[in-house]
């Protein structure tokens, strides 16, 4: 199954009883925006998933801004949604997939493979002239066993892997944030020493859809610099847009990357951890737009 689904493909499957359509719209600066927009109109049959409340766990003094939910809590969410072994999930957000990719990764990380992201999101759906609804549907709860998340690194594991030079750490934030030229969200600017920069925007066309697989493959091979995709660890500000890069790698046919779940906002919790700015470490500011 392709990790992406197009608007026409989704439209043709809306009557599939096994389809679970999840609206993941969110705004980091306005946490209630997505749920408000959902209430005003969404794709027929969609439920809403709140990034902070359902796709993350509460923040603590040691975590980043969007810690992974616990296995038990995430399983309870999936049960409430009615997900079972026959379910096919499609996630969408307002446009480029930055938030929908979080749900895609979470489901993949607990072993659920039948999940796709709507390419271009709700913006593409509306551009096609397709309708929205304010109606909601009740879903019958399901029973699922709890599964631990796989394919992610803690900060301790990341520090060990960096010291052993066994990973390729790639940061999905904008070049300005990566280089430490601006930091609108976190209290410290810069990046993890040794990281490379591959902004999520480098995965996208101007309309918010993903670039063709061949183009993505070329760009990601350039980022990897000859390293296997299985060495890649993806990070960002809080572990959200890092999932977008992992999704792009899947589209490109280069699977196997892992997530640094805590990302920059967790890395800087300890002032003893090193911080780099500018081009102070090898290849730090690599982007395709340079």
- Show which residues are catalytic: 236
How far apart, in Å, are the Cα atoms of 185 and each of 62, 138, 267?
17, 37, 14
Range 281-286, long-range pairs (CB < 8 A, 24+ positions): 281/193, 281/194, 281/195, 282/194, 283/196, 283/225, 284/178, 284/179, 284/191, 284/194, 284/195, 284/196, 284/197, 285/175, 285/178, 285/179, 285/197, 286/196, 286/197, 286/198, 286/223
d(CA 102, CA 97): 9
How far apart, in Å, are the Cα atoms of 283 and each of 28, 197, 236, 245?
29, 9, 17, 18
């Amino acid at each position: 199954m392709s990790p992406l689904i197009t608007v026409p493909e989704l439209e043709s499957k809306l009557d599939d009883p096994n389809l679970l359509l999840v609206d993941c719209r969110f705004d980091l600066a306005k946490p209630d925006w997505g749920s408000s927009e959902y209430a005003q109109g969404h794709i027929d049959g969609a439920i809403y998933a709140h990034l902070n409340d359902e796709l993350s766990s509460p923040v603590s003094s040691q975590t980043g801004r969007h810690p992974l939910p616990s296995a038990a809590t995430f399983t309870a969410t999936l049960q409430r949604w009615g997900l079972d072994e026959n379910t096919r999930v499609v996630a969408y957000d307002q446009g480029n997939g930055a938030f929908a990719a979080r749900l895609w990764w979470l489901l993949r990380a607990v072993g659920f493979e039948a999940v796709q992201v709507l390419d271009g999101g709700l913006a593409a759906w509306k551009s096609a002239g397709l309708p929205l609804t304010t109606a909601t549907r009740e879903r019958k709860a399901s029973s699922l066993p709890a599964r631990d998340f796989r394919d992610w690194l803690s900060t301790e594991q990341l520090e060990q892997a960096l010291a052993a030079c066994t990973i390729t750490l790639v940061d999905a934030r904008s070049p300005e944030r990566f280089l430490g030229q601006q930091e609108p969200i976190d209290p410290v600017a810069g990046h993890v020493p040794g990281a490379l920069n591959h902004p999520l925007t480098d995965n996208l066309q101007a309309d918010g859809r993903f670039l063709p697989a061949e183009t993505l493959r070329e760009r990601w091979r350039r980022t990897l610099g000859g390293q296997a995709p299985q060495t890649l660890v993806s990070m960002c500000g809080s572990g959200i847009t890092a999932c977008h890069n992992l999704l792009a790698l899947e589209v490109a046919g280069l699977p196997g990357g892992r997530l640094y779940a805590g990302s920059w906002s967790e890395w800087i919790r300890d002032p003893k951890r090193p911080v780099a700015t500018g081009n102070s470490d090898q290849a730090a500011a690599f982007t395709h737009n340079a």
